[in-house]
Structures are given as structure tokens and as C-alpha cells.
Structure 1
Amino acid sequence: MKAAVQNYQDRMRRVLDHIDRHLDGDLDLDGLSAVAAFSKFHFHRQFSATFGLSVHRYVQLARMKRASHQLAYMDALDVTDVAMDADYDAPDAFARAFRQRFGQSPSSFRKSPDWEPWLAALGPLDNARSKLMQKTFTTDDVTIRDVQPTKVAIMEHRGDPATLPATIQRFIAWRKAAHLHPSTSPTFNVWRSERRPASPADYSVDLCVGTAQAIVANGEEIKAGEIPGGRCAVLRVVGYTDNLEPAALYLYRNWLPASGEEARDFPIYCQRLSFFPEVPEHETVADVFLPLK
């Protein structure tokens, strides 16, 4: 029975990966049911029963999520390009759908995103993915690595995690102006609080970019700092790296007590190696580092 359930989940996960990989293509029920090797006469009900929303709505939300990221973080794409990527033939049809979903026009969202309704609108998509995208880690997934110290520029986020996307947007704009591209300057997040503290005001994370050059703040509150060198337990996460809490919890709750190691006096952190929407979400990669004595 357990093997059968696992097989069923693998087939459904294959569909989600296929959708992410082919957001620009024709994602009809016949094609998606064939990917899962399910009957096309039952697949839409199986999908809804598993994920809590229809195939059509899932695809729409996935396309709208990518479109919103392109608008907020990729200035080189104009609204027409984003509309075409989202499978809309005309910008006005895309604008109506975008406003209906997020409460803002695409142009308004690009200038000043309102992230709270954005998070609420994409909640069903994130909930659907979390049902089958939970990672199962083993000790074989963890390596111990000697890490070299890295000088970083830091933009601190302090306060409600719902406002984190706005800080990320400012951080990306600043590093673009500073010519610190992710391909040449590594990206780190240093977690200084739990992901969901008792009070949202206590949420704390540092957004960091590796650089040894002099920092020009350009109006932002940017600090110079360092991610210290030393031994670290490293756990790589591939796919859907928005929420790395399960990886961090595995290191703390499962790996560390059984390893005989002790944690060093520096917060757990991650290095983001690839980014959505530059790659499909299931291909994003992040390494989670637990500093050790």
C-alpha cells in the first residue's frame, strides 16, 4: 500500500514539474493526464482531489506567479512580453486577469507591488505544492564542508515576513545598480529568527551578496559584513526553495543530535544557487549551511 501511494504521488509530482517546465506551452487535460499516465476521463477530478484546486486554476496561478516575478524583478521585459509568456494574446486581456487576481494592473504592480493581496492570491498554489513537495531528507544528503570566509554586503529585513518580498525587490534593484550579478557574486540569506516567530515583528533575515569591493549604498541601508569560514553541515535542496524551513529543521532535529557534532555560534544560513523565474521553480537550487564547531 505504501509503495502504491508513493507511486501515485510521484505521478502527480511529475505533472507539477511538467507544468513548471512548459508554462509557455499548451497545457491541456489530455496532455497532462498522459504525463501522469492517468485516464483523461478522471484526471481532472484526481488532480482537484489531490491538490484542492482544478488543473486550469493551478496553471493560471503558476503563470501569474511567474508573470508577477517578471514584472517585479526583471525590468528588461516589457508588459507585452510578460503577457505573451503568460499565454495571453493581448496585453489588455492579461491586464484584466492580473488585476482580477492581484488587485493591481501589471504596470502599477511593477512600479509599487502590493504584496499582501499577492500572497493571499497565490496561497492556493503554495498549499497545493506543499501537499506533495515536502522534502524527505536522509543523512546521506548532508555533507560536511570547510567553508572559506566571505565578505558580504547586507540588506537587513526586520519585521513582518509578509513584507519580505518588498525588501527582496529593493535588494535586487540595489545589487543591479552595484553590478553584483548572481552569476559572479554569490547570494546568501542569514536567518536570525524562526520563519514564523510568535510575533511577526520579530522576524529577522539578512539578504547578502558576496563582494570584496567598496560598498556604495545608493540611498539604501547597506552594511558590510562577513559570513565566517569554518566547518559546516550542508544540505542541498533542489526545487521549490521558497520555504527552506524543512531543511533547516531536519538539520537541527534529526541530523545534529545523531551526528555527535555541535553547532557553532553563527546563525543557520543558505546560499541560493539558481533563481525563479530564470529557471523553472522545480529546478531552483539552494544549499543550507549549519555552522559547526
Structure 2
Amino acid sequence: MNDRLKAQYSARLRRVCDHIERHLDAPLSLESLSQMAYCSPFHFHRQFTAWCGMPLYRYIQWLRLRRASWRLAFNPQDKVIDIALDAGFQNPESFTRAFKMAFGQSPRQFRQQPDWRAWHQRMPMMNIKGQKNMDVTLVDFPRTPVALLQHRCNPELVNYSAAKFILWRKETGLSPVAQSATFGIAWDDPQTTPPEAFRFDICGSVNAPVPENAHGVINGEIPAGRCAVVRHHGSLDTVGESVWSLFRDWLPGSGETPRDFPVFFQYHNFVNEVAEHELQTDIYLPLQ
């Protein structure tokens, strides 16, 4: 197969994956998806498995279980039966069996004490598309006092810290999500930093100093200064691609010099609230 045909072939399957990611709540039949790829159901099923590394039905189920896990962990008000039905299962029993087989915990066990390390180890590499086009703008970012929780361990465990910060927010009301901005400060690259040395700060803007507390949330600030900012659309699994594109493709021709402060993110919505393709995250590169 020549390069042109390979590109066409990959583009068709990528279009199918995009459709699946955007319609996880809808029926997704082999027949309808194969039509999108201009292929017979029989050949499409084999082509998708070869291209993706897993059968179509397993790919869809993994994406649905992936979304269900975030709702279980961060949306305690959502009933398990509703999460099961939204994930395409006929009843909670079949959902429980599939979830436990996938992650090693039942949905209720995961809700009470999620094992994020096992979650990452068991989750297959999903063929989620990164962002190609980026519209970079320059802004003057204002000095922003924040409540800050330091994550200082394996990046696969960052959801533990996120849950702790969410609990602090709910218990104190000092950084309500509806009125406060949510940030993440990326001191290290998870791809090149040993897990035990990884550093990441989870932050929420505040209007008053944070008192001492049992959660380990402290006072901090994001300093004022010029920044290049680009909006990343979609899964946070691919946000690193957008960060590197900012450094690799934009920075060399911009005439700008990075400032001595790490890249940081502003999260405009969260994966337990919206579908992954609807996530919007601003990436800030501090400049001199």
C-alpha cells in the first residue's frame, strides 16, 4: 500500500473514531460505522482491529468505561444505575462485571477508593486525536493568588490529589468552582521525569488567604507577566502534544524568550462534566 492510500485509509478510520468519541451516548452499530469508512462491515471490522489494536466493540466499551470511571470518582451524586445505562449497559450487573474485569474494582469500590495506578496500567492506549491547528495569542496575565495543593509523586496518581483539592474546595467554600478559576502548574514533563520526582501544582484562584488545614492546601500565586496562550480542545491525554507544538512550532519563529516560570494550564471544564472532545484547556507559556 503506497503512502497516499495509507493516508486515506487512516483518515477514514480516524473519522470513525472521532464520530465514536462524539456520540458515546448514541447507538454505534458496525453497519453505520462501516458506511462512514466506505467499507463492508466484514472488512471494516478486520481493518479497524488491525489499525486500532482492538476490536470495534471493545474500543467503544473502553471509551464508555473510561468516561464512567470519572463520573464514579468525581460525581458522587450520579447513581451507579444511571452511569451504567449511559455507558450502554442493559443493567447494573452487566456494567459491574465489565467494569471489574477492566479495572479490577467494582464500580462501588472504585467510587469509594479508586485505584488510579491500576486504572492507568489497565487502560489501553486509546487512539484519541490530538490538536493540529493552534491559534496562539499574547496576553498580559494578572498576578493571581491561588489556593495550591502540591502533587509530588507519580503523574498517574494526580487524580488522588485532585480529589483531595476538590474535597477542600467543597468543605471550605474558599475557592468555589463556579466563581474561581482552576489552574495546574506543570513543573515537570511526565514523559522525561522519573515518577518519584514529578511535580505538579493544582490551584484555584482565591480572594483571601488560605488558613491552615488538614488537606495540605497552601497559599500560592501565579505571577503577573506576558504569556503566549493557546486553547487546547479535547482530551488531556493529548495536551502534551499541544505544549510541545507551542515550543517546537511557534516559539522559534516568534522572536520571544520564555520566562523563568513553568507552563501552566487553566481548565475551563472537567472530564466528569462534559465529553472528552468538549474539554477546553488554555495552555500558558510565560514570556520575558
| 1:39 alignment counterpart | 40
| 1:236 alignment counterpart | 231
Q: Which moved more, 1:102-111 or 1:2-11?
A: 2-11
Deviation of the 1:81 alpha carbon: 1.5
| 2:131 alignment counterpart | 135
The C-alpha deviation readout for 1:154-178, integer Å capped at 9, x for no partner, is: 1110011122121122222222334
| Matching of residues 18-29 of structure 1 within 5 Å | 18-29=19-30
Q: Which runs of 5+ in 2 are unaligned?
A: none
| 1:123 alignment counterpart | 124
Give the direction of change, closer, same or farther, for the CA distance of 1:15–1:264 in structure 2 (3 Å limit).
same
One-letter amino acid matched to 1:135: Q
- TM-score, with structure 1 as normaliser: 0.89
Q: Which runs of 5+ in 1 are unaligned?
A: none
Q: Which moved more, 1:237-246 or 1:220-229?
A: 237-246
Give the direction of change, closer, same or farther, for the CA distance of 1:154–1:198 in structure 2 (3 Å limit).
closer
| Matching of residues 1-293 of structure 1 within 5 Å | 5-125=6-126, 128-129=127-128, 133-137=129-133, 141-179=135-173, 180-215=175-210, 218-293=213-288
The C-alpha deviation readout for 1:147-201, integer Å capped at 9, x for no partner, is: 2222211111001112212112222222233444434211111011122334211
Instruction: Indicate if the aligned counterparts of 2:263 and 2:285 stay in contact, CA closer than 8 A.
Output: yes
Deviation of the 1:5 alpha carbon: 4.8
Instruction: Indicate if the aligned counterparts of 2:232 and 2:282 stay in contact, CA closer than 8 A.
Output: yes
CA distance in 2, matches of 1:11, 1:73: 34
% same residue: 40
CA distance in 2, matches of 1:191, 1:25: 36
Give the direction of change, closer, same or farther, for the CA distance of 1:169–1:36 in structure 2 (3 Å limit).
farther
Report the 3-state secondary structure (helix = DSSP H, G, I; strand = E; otherwise coil) of the residue aligned with 2:257: coil
Report the 3-state secondary structure (helix = DSSP H, G, I; strand = E; otherwise coil) of the residue aligned with 2:236: coil
One-letter amino acid matched to 1:288: I
Deviation of the 1:113 alpha carbon: 0.8
Deviating beyond 6 angstroms after TM superposition, the runs of 4 or more aligned structure 1 residues are none
CA distance in 2, matches of 1:15, 1:219: 47
One-letter amino acid matched to 1:247: S
The C-alpha deviation readout for 1:219-255, integer Å capped at 9, x for no partner, is: 2000111112221111221112234222222222332
One-letter amino acid matched to 2:82: D
Instruction: Indicate if the aligned counterparts of 2:130 and 2:238 stay in contact, CA closer than 8 A.
Output: no
CA distance in 2, matches of 1:5, 1:235: 31
One-letter amino acid matched to 2:206: T
CA distance in 1, matches of 2:178, 2:237: 20
CA distance in 1, matches of 2:39, 2:213: 55
The C-alpha deviation readout for 1:45-94, integer Å capped at 9, x for no partner, is: 12112211111100110111111111100011021111111122221221
Deviation of the 1:266 alpha carbon: 1.2
Instruction: Indicate if the aligned counterparts of 1:53 and 1:124 stay in contact, CA closer than 8 A.
Output: no
- TM-score, with structure 2 as normaliser: 0.91
CA distance in 2, matches of 1:216, 1:36: 57
CA distance in 1, matches of 2:120, 2:78: 22
CA distance in 2, matches of 1:239, 1:263: 25
CA distance in 2, matches of 1:163, 1:169: 10
Report the 3-state secondary structure (helix = DSSP H, G, I; strand = E; otherwise coil) of the residue aligned with 1:233: strand
* Count of residues in Structure 1 that have an aligned counterpart in Structure 2: 286
Report the 3-state secondary structure (helix = DSSP H, G, I; strand = E; otherwise coil) of the residue aligned with 2:237: coil
CA distance in 2, matches of 1:46, 1:64: 23
One-letter amino acid matched to 1:165: N
The C-alpha deviation readout for 1:104-152, integer Å capped at 9, x for no partner, is: 1111111111112211221233xx33xxx243356xx211112222221
Give the direction of change, closer, same or farther, for the CA distance of 1:147–1:29 in structure 2 (3 Å limit).
same
Instruction: Indicate if the aligned counterparts of 1:196 and 1:203 stay in contact, CA closer than 8 A.
Output: no
One-letter amino acid matched to 1:145: V
Deviation of the 1:277 alpha carbon: 3.3
One-letter amino acid matched to 1:284: L
CA distance in 1, matches of 2:101, 2:242: 35
CA distance in 1, matches of 2:92, 2:116: 22
CA distance in 2, matches of 1:275, 1:28: 28
